[in-house]
Amino acid sequence: MKNALHLFLPLSLLSFAGCTSPSVFDAPKPVNVDDLPRTAQVMVPPPALPEHDQVAQGGPQVVQVRLEIQEKKIKISPHANIWALTFNGTVPAPLIVAHQGDYVEVNLVNPATNSLTHNIDFHAATGAMGGGDLTEVAPGQEATIRFRVLKPGVFVYHCAPGGVMTPIHIASGMNGAIMVLPRNGLTDENGNPLKYDRAYYVAEQDYYLRKDEEGKFKDYETPAAGFADMIPVMRSLTPSHLVFNGVEGALQNEHAMLANVGEKVLFITASCNIDARFHIIGGHADLVWEGGSFNDRPVTDRETWFVPGGSAVAALYQFRLPGTYAFVDHNLIKADVFDAKGQVKVSGEWDNRLMQQLAAPHASK
């Protein structure tokens, strides 16, 4: 009887705390993973997301992802190049989408033409080093890891070869994110089902480049040749460059994100090293999953949402009026002195009930 009471009490407390939502641990023992359906996810360059279902169809599956490491020199601003270290050639790396309880199977390929050893640490994975120890690949090698995504939310992943090489690789662009949706899709602040019409992935990227004696950013023959110069700049914790999605202007003008009035747009915002604070000028985040967890109810109506370095956060906004919205880090020094900003171009009908110019600028009497 005493034992029964002990059993009863914790369960009732859990229930009282609202923790009774189904968990993957409640599911029947998984069948042999090799028997599960498999889907090869076609990776796409950010800010786009791969094609995916918002509500999972059926039970857990294996989501197959191939990430090819590319070391490539890119122009991050008109006067600065960096040897970007990338997964699939983009900064940030592609966003992966899975559902809670799925298995993510990543084939990490390091072509022989590369010069460095790389690996991958998934914050969405469970297990020491996030898979980093199991995926270390020298040029000419590849490795495959499979991990189960237990926690729904948005999470970053990054290269982590160890020691100071880890921040150097991350600050050379080697980071991405994964979105693990609840199997039944997202829910709003009241727990009701929620669908988004579009989704974009925006990551703030910090770079630490050194200038030469003439004040020009230095250029290097190989990625490793620049590493020693990055360290003193990193020590200042002051980036030389701060951008959204890898290069200045990546999300501006003809590259702006697009939406229509009335659409609910989900933004997966991330920053792998430094803290960031995202803001839509003239809009809001109707919903923010603070800290990135989809197990928590989203908070509502935030003007600015915080993304602690080393994490991703999801925010949703339904655009009410057309126009070109600045999408910024609202440390506006980061946005406008550096270039941590993008744009969302929204099409649709203007609604004077929300905003109206009553008198155009004119000389005062």
Q: Which residues contact Cu ion by CB under 5 A? A: 85, 118, 159, 169, 174
330 noted as active-site residue: yes
Q: Which residues contact 23 (CB under 8 A, 6 or more apart)?
A: none
CA angle at residue 46 from 324 to 112, to 5 degrees? Answer: 150
121 noted as active-site residue: yes
For Cu ion, which is the closer residue by CB, 118 or 330? 118
For the CB of residue 106, give the shortest distance to Cu ion in the complex, in Å.
14
Q: Which residues contact 127 (CB under 8 A, 6 or more apart)?
A: 147
362 noted as active-site residue: no
How far is 349 from 47, CA to CA, in rounded Å?
25
99 noted as active-site residue: no
For the CB of residue 169, give the shortest distance to Cu ion in the complex, in Å.
4
6 noted as active-site residue: no
123 noted as active-site residue: yes
Out of 99, 169, 241, 284, the active site residue is 169
For the CB of residue 69, give the shortest distance to Cu ion in the complex, in Å.
7
Out of 90, 99, 105, 123, the active site residue is 123
- What DSSP line would sit under 133-180, residue for residue? GG--B-TTEEEEEEEE--S-EEEEEE---STTHHHHHHTTT-EEEEEE
Find out whether 241 and 207 touch, Cβ atoms under 8 Å.
Answer: yes
How far is 72 from 251, CA to CA, in rounded Å?
20
52 noted as active-site residue: no
For Cu ion, which is the closer residue by CB, 99 or 118? 118
For Cu ion, which is the closer residue by CB, 174 or 340? 174
Structure tokens at 118: 């790389």
Cis, bond preceding 223 (omega within 30 deg of 0)? no
For Cu ion, which is the closer residue by CB, 169 or 279? 169
For the CB of residue 56, give the shortest distance to Cu ion in the complex, in Å.
32
What residues act catalytically? 118, 121, 123, 158-159, 169, 174, 279, 303-304, 330
